[in-house]
Each structure stands twice: as structure tokens, then as C-alpha cells.
Structure 1
Amino acid sequence: MRKFLLLFALLISISSFAQNSKIKELEEQRKQALRDISNTDKLLRDTKKNTTTLLSRIKLISNQIISRQQVVGLLNQEIGGISDEQKQIEREITILESELKDKQKSYAKAIDGMLLNRQNENKMLFVLSGKSLTESYRRFRYLKDYSEWRSKQADDIKEKSDQLKERKEALAKTKSEKLALLGQRETEQANLKKEETNYQEEVGEAKKKQGELQKILTQKKQQAAALDKQIAKLIAEEVARQERQARRIAEEKAKAEERERAKNAGSTKTPTSKPKSTTSTAPAVSAENVTLSNTFSGNKGKLPFPITGNYSIVNRFGTHQHSQWQVTTSSNGIDVQSQSGAQARAVFDGEVSRVVAFPGYNNCIIIRHGNYYTFYGNIQNVSVKQGDKVKTGQSLGLVYTDPDTGTSQLHFQLWQGTTKLNPEPWLRR
């Protein structure tokens, strides 16, 4: 029975550790969602309310609702986790109380036996009254072991008492935490209800201006399509340039090797046949490109956001149907809104391959990271130039702030060669 209790206690302890880790992970996710909500709150306060910003405001509020729903969901999971933890602690307390009771009973029985035999006062007589030296020694060892056992029993009882006290305190703490989370959930649910009402009001206002908004969306769609076309062209040109450079390096290396072989063979004549070229196969890639590419891909999910300050993604990668406005938009990247004065920043080490201007997107920058490319659009004052080496987090320039709306939006894209990628999974939250 004792072995079973010990095994059961061990299993509960392992389960409790895993439960605590899960609760901490949920708490971190909730804190991140609350930070997102705080960022969006600030952006909403900074965004002037007019027709042009109605769509941005609706998206910000929609993001707010999603984050708030996430917080409520995480709170529910935390509350469930703490309830499970309470049950585990209660089971541990039951086991500890049982073990403590057994030890106290065993110790009390030993004390009663000692008082009955009055061995404590007659130890020497008990040892010397043995029929032989061997028996006297055995009695001496018995008394010594018995004394150590009693001392250990007393220590075990104290240890179990301390453990029992600690688990009862832990139980009281989890009950307090659960009450606090229940209160917080009630607050978050009330906030969610307000935001959903606010969202409906903004959507209602937008419906009254459907014609204007449809024109705005159509114009943005046309600008985005033109931008994406130009970016794809620039990226393709850059990839082709890198491939030509790689082929040239490979050919020069092959010629040098051929000359070296001819020299070693004692030939002084120029070879009439051309050395084998690598142009018909995949171009050689420089060591720098390989290193940058491998390091870049190894940082998926860890890259910093390409903008400073409080930010929120207002337009996401891919094709989106705006059924209310009867417009379908498509984007090869994401639009990140931040506060006035926000800086665009490099998400990784690389080299500035292009600095160009596009209608509706001001200045734009392309940075090469091996065979990966990042694009930063809508920059007002550029602080880098073509050929510059940049470091992770380095400022690239001031993001343009629309004086009529008070918003600063950065358009960001990510490419692997000529393949467009969704940037979001690559960025650190």
C-alpha cells in the first residue's frame, strides 16, 4: 500500500508540473493578446475618424474583437487548468494526510512500547544482560538502529507536516487565482460586448457611405495590383542579376582551373576548345548567399516586425472578398499600421538592392538576404541607399503619415527568389 501511495504521489507530482507549465504558457499568450489590444487601442485613438479611415477603423476594431475573443478563450483555458490543478493538489493533500497519519500512528506505537519496557532508563542493563558477547552486541545494534529509526520517523513526520502545510497554502493560492481570473473574464466579456457594438456602429456608418468606400477600395485595389506587378518585376530582375553574376563567377573559376591545368601540363598554347561551362546547369551560388539564406530561413517566426512603435496588421496576405463593398482585393504582402513618427526597420541582415518610388506608396526599398528578399513600401524619408549593408532592426527611414487621417502604414512583402511568401508566420509576435 505504501509503495502504491508513493507511486501515485509521484505521478501526481509529474502531472502537476505539466499542468503548471501549461497554465504559464496560456498566461503568456493572454498577455500577448492584451498587448495587441493595447496597441490597437492607441492606434484607434490616433486615427482621425473620416470616410477615408472608416475601413481602417473597421479592421482595427475587428482585430480588437479577435484579440479580445482570444483573451476570453485563454482565460477559460486558464480557469480550467487551475481547476485541474486544484483537484491535483487536493489529491496530494489526501495522500499526505494518509501518510502522515500512518507515520504518527507508527511513531506513537513505538513510544508506547518504549515507555512500557522503560528501555530508555535500562539500556546498559539490557545490553549487559545478554547470555553471550554476541547477543549483547546484537542488543546494542538493535538499540542503536531503533534510536535512529525513531529519529528518522520524527523527521519524516515533520517533513510530511511541512509538505501538507505547503500544499494547503498552494490550494488556497490557486483558489484566489481562480477567483481573480473569473473576475477578469467577466470584465473582458463586457469589453468584448462593447467592441462588438462599436463594430456594428462603424459598419452601419460605412454602409451609408458605400459608394465612396467602394471607390476608395477600387482605387486601392488598382494601386496594389500595379505595385505587386512592379515588385514582381524588380525581384525577377534582381534574381536574374544574381544568377548572371553567379554564372560569371563559375565560368571565370572554370577558365582559371583550365589555365592552371594547361600550365601544369607544360602547355604554352591557348586551348582551342572552350572549357566546360556551367551555364546549362543551375548557377553556382556564392558562399555569402548560402549563409544568409540558411540563417534567414532558420529565423522563421523570430524576425522583428518591420515597423517601430505600436502596430497592428490591417491588411493581410492573399485574396480577400469584401462582400459588403462588392470588391475583391489581393495582396502579396501585409499592411502594418503604426503611430505617427514610426520608422521602417530591416527584419534581417542584408544588402539594399533597390530604392525606388511608386505612385501611392512613396519611396520603397528592397533588401536582399541571400536568396530571400524583403520589400518595404510607403517610406517618406529614406535613410539608406542602394548597395548599403544593413543589420537586423536598422532604421530604413520614416514611414509616411497621411496628414488627413493621421495614420502611418507600411507595406511589407517577403519573397524567396521569385516566389512570394506570407510574411506573418516569419515575424515574431
Structure 2
Amino acid sequence: MKYYVFPSLYLKSMYRSRLLTFFALSIVFALLLVQSKAWAQSTPDRTQLEQEKKENLRKIKEAQQILSETSSRKKTSLGQLSAINQQIEAREGLIKSINEELELLQGQIGEITGVIEALEEDLVGLKREYAYMVYATSKTNNSFDRLMFIFSASTFNQMFMRVKYMQQYSEARKNQVEQIQKVKQTLTNQRGTLEGKQMEQQVLLDQQLMANKDLLALKAKQRSVVRDLNQQEKELTKELAQRQEDVEELDKLIASLIRKEIEKSNKDKATDRVALNSSNEAVSVSFEQSKNNLTWPVNTGFVSQKFGRNPHPIMKNIMVPNDGVDIQTMQNAEVKAVFDGIVKAITPIPEPGDLKAVIMQHGEYFTVYSRLKEVNVKTGQQLRASDAVGMVYTDGNGVSMLQFQIWRNNQKLNPEAWLQKK
């Protein structure tokens, strides 16, 4: 009876081994497949968040440079408050990106941890099954017993099958060892990946802590500036009244120049649109197709006041109209053409400091660059996009601000809808 124990043990262990190996590896590779797919889906999000972080850091640095110029003056100004507000907005955007990146990373860490747990369970099962196979083999490890097992077969076909069984059993043991090694290696790799993700998580947590600390400091500075500006209410009211008067005069001046250009192109016919020929029609179409993609008129800066009616940053219930956008920038910043076109007018503007405005035509579209202390172009000159138009003016408070407008015939447009996103 001793010689017939082997096939029973063999068949039982072979079946269990293959079944366990199949299910164990199926679970492992299924988990790894799910993990890789999930990461593939989250990778663009992670890349996008990293890009958003980089962009917010650029905005923070840019606003800090502009703020340092306004802060060098003893007097607190609205320009200083605008730069602080821009920094706060960029810092909040940075914190938002970090928080979202942490959520993604936490999800990945949870997935890796689940895979590691599954691998550890499978490894225990594979080792247990291998031990059983070794034990089964030890029962018939005597060469004489094996020969007796083979030659005790009642038929030749049965003898052949017993030889085949023993070969397969030996191969199964080898495969079991290989599978154990593969699972061990996969487990080691996953633990290394987990450690890397945990290190990334710690870096992000440190960044989050620092960003929150900086944000609190900025908000404290913002409150201090607002208090100082509240004490200047009379002066701010006077400045606002003067600015609104200057804006109205500039608006009339620009509207008049554009109306004359419309009349000239139509040979004094009553119309509210520029007459287009084949040449300037192509320019007009090209300009329109560049919506959301026009180059910025300055290299460095941010929109400190938007198009339309805006609440005054200090005085309550006061709305400030704006026919374009105010772009706060650096001292002596070069102002550039946003698109190919012709310089149609260079005109003084009704603000103190001998300032000028340049009007360019792009088919039926017009761009206006106002508050320039220097102008580098002449009327009738053809410019390409990014060609220098002039240099921005810096006021007594250290605020360098360009007023930029876009018109389509006599209709005012929101420049932020046309400029590239920053």
C-alpha cells in the first residue's frame, strides 16, 4: 500500500498548488492592472496640478516684485493693495493645487497599500503550498520506492502515466519556487514605490504648511494696508473723481478718433463700421481668430482692475467704470503691440505727467495702449505683434499701470476675453 500513497499525495498537492497559484497570481496582477490604469488616469491630473502650482508660484513672485516697488514709497497706495490682493489670490490657488495633489497622492498610497497586503497574503499561501509539496515528496524520496511505484503498475500505459506524473510533479515544484520569487520581487518593488509616494506626500505637506503660513502673513499685511487707506478717504475720493473725469475724456477722445477712421474708410457715409477691403478684411478675420490667444502688452504684470464696473477696493458702495483693463506692471516696462496692425493715432491723455495713448488698427478692430510716458512709434507705422510701442508710466506712489482697451468699430470689448490666459 505504501507505493500507492505517492500518486494520491501527488495529485492532491498538484491540484491545490496549481489552483492556489492561479488564483493568487490572478488577484495580484488584477490589482496591479487596476493600479496602473488608475495611475494612468490620474497622471494628467497630477501633471496639470504641478503646472498650476508652477504658474501660481510665478504669479506670486511677479506680484512680490511689483509690490516691492510700491512698498518702497512711504505712502500706502491702492497699487500696493492690488499687488497684495494678487499675491493672496495666487497663494490661495497654490494651496488649492497642493491640497488636490495630496488627495491624488493619498489615493495612490491607498491603492499601493492594498496591493502590498494582497501580495503578502498570496506569498504566505504560496509558501504554505510549497511546503506541502515538499512534504508530499519527502514521503517517497527513496529512489527504490519510486522505482517500485513505477514498476508496480498493472499495465504499461499506467506505468507511463506514473513516470509522467513524477516529471510534472518535479516541474510543478520548480514553478512554485519561481512564482514565490516573482511575488517577492513584486512585493519589494511595491514597497519601494510606497516609500517614494510617502516621501512625496511629506514634501507636499511641508509645502502646504509653508503656503498657509505665508497666506496668513499676507492677509495680516492686507488688513494693515486697508486700515491705512481708510484713513486717506478724502484723498482717495478726490483721486477717484479726477480719474473718472480723465477716463470720460479719454473715452470721448478714443471714440472720436475711431469714428473719424470709420468715416474716412467709408468716404463720409453714415455708418458705424469700418469699410473693409480684401487686405484689411483678412487682418480683421485673423484678429478675430486670435481671441483668447493675443500676446500680452507687457511681459510682467496682472490685471488690477477688470473691464466694466468694479467695486472700489476701499470705499463702500462706489462702482468704478473701466472701458478696458488696468494692468499693473514693473517700472519702465516695455509696452508691446498685441497683434499686427497700423498705428492710427498718438494722442496726449488728460492725466498729469505728459502721458500719451497709442491707438492701433487691425481691420475693424482697434487696440488702445494708454498711460505711456514714452512712445517709440509714429502714426501710419506698420507694426508686428510684440513690436515695442512705448514705455509705461510710473506715478508718484511707485505704481506702474497700463490701461489697455480693445474696440470693434465703436463697440468696447473685454480685453481679458482676448488675451492669453496667464
Kindly indicate whether residue 215 of structure 2 is the aligned counterpart of residue 189 of structure 1.
no
Residue 307 of structure 2: aligned partner: 317
CA RMSD of aligned residues (A): 4.1
Determine what percentage of the aligned residue pairs are the same residue: 26
Which aligned pairs between 1:29-428 and structure 2 lie closer than 5 A? 29-47=52-70, 48-51=72-75, 54-98=77-121, 158-239=181-262, 241-242=264-265, 244=266, 286=278, 289-290=281-282, 292-308=283-299, 310-322=300-312, 324=315, 327-360=318-351, 362-402=355-395, 404-425=396-417, 426-428=419-421
Q: Secondary structure at the match of 1:415?
A: strand
Q: Secondary structure at the match of 1:305?
A: coil
Residue 24 of structure 1: aligned partner: 47
Where structure 1 has 5 or more consecutive residues not aligned to the other structure, the ranges are 121-130, 248-278
TM-score by length of 2: 0.76
C-alpha distance in 2 between matches for 1:55 and 1:415: 27
Contact 1:16 1:88 in 2 (8 A): no
Where structure 2 has 5 or more consecutive residues not aligned to the other structure, the ranges are 1-22, 144-154
Distance 1:284 1:369, change over 3 A: closer
Counterpart amino acid of residue 389 in structure 1: Q
C-alpha distance in 2 between matches for 1:150 and 1:287: 83
Distance 1:377 1:144, change over 3 A: farther
Q: Secondary structure at the match of 1:185?
A: helix
C-alpha distance in 2 between matches for 1:329 and 1:97: 66
C-alpha distance in 2 between matches for 1:351 and 1:26: 40
Counterpart amino acid of residue 229 in structure 1: K
In the TM superposition, residue 103 of structure 1 has moved relative to its aligned partner by 6.1
Deviations along 1:82-106, whole A, 9 cap, x unmatched?
2122112222333444555666667
C-alpha distance in 2 between matches for 1:7 and 1:32: 38
In the TM superposition, residue 81 of structure 1 has moved relative to its aligned partner by 2.0
Distance 1:34 1:417, change over 3 A: same
Distance 1:221 1:114, change over 3 A: farther
In the TM superposition, residue 230 of structure 1 has moved relative to its aligned partner by 2.5
C-alpha distance in 2 between matches for 1:202 and 1:23: 37
Contact 1:296 1:369 in 2 (8 A): yes
In the TM superposition, residue 303 of structure 1 has moved relative to its aligned partner by 3.0
In the TM superposition, residue 388 of structure 1 has moved relative to its aligned partner by 2.7
Q: Secondary structure at the match of 2:60?
A: helix
In the TM superposition, residue 227 of structure 1 has moved relative to its aligned partner by 1.6
Distance 1:63 1:165, change over 3 A: same
C-alpha distance in 1 between matches for 2:213 and 2:97: 16
Distance 1:98 1:219, change over 3 A: same
Q: Secondary structure at the match of 1:387?
A: coil
When structure 1 is superposed on structure 2, of 228-237 and 67-76 the one drifting more is 228-237
Contact 2:358 2:370 in 1 (8 A): yes
C-alpha distance in 1 between matches for 2:170 and 2:246: 91
Deviations along 1:166-218, whole A, 9 cap, x unmatched?
33222212222222222222222222222212111111111222111110111
C-alpha distance in 2 between matches for 1:390 and 1:99: 71
C-alpha distance in 2 between matches for 1:374 and 1:282: 14
TM-score by length of 1: 0.75
C-alpha distance in 2 between matches for 1:160 and 1:287: 71
Counterpart amino acid of residue 386 in structure 2: G
In the TM superposition, residue 377 of structure 1 has moved relative to its aligned partner by 1.1
Contact 2:274 2:409 in 1 (8 A): no
In the TM superposition, residue 45 of structure 1 has moved relative to its aligned partner by 1.3
Counterpart amino acid of residue 306 in structure 2: R
C-alpha distance in 2 between matches for 1:348 and 1:114: 84
Q: Secondary structure at the match of 2:77?
A: helix
Distance 1:365 1:161, change over 3 A: farther
Distance 1:423 1:102, change over 3 A: farther
Contact 1:214 1:325 in 2 (8 A): no
C-alpha distance in 1 between matches for 2:96 and 2:281: 44
Distance 1:221 1:112, change over 3 A: farther
In the TM superposition, residue 235 of structure 1 has moved relative to its aligned partner by 3.4
Q: Secondary structure at the match of 1:306?
A: coil
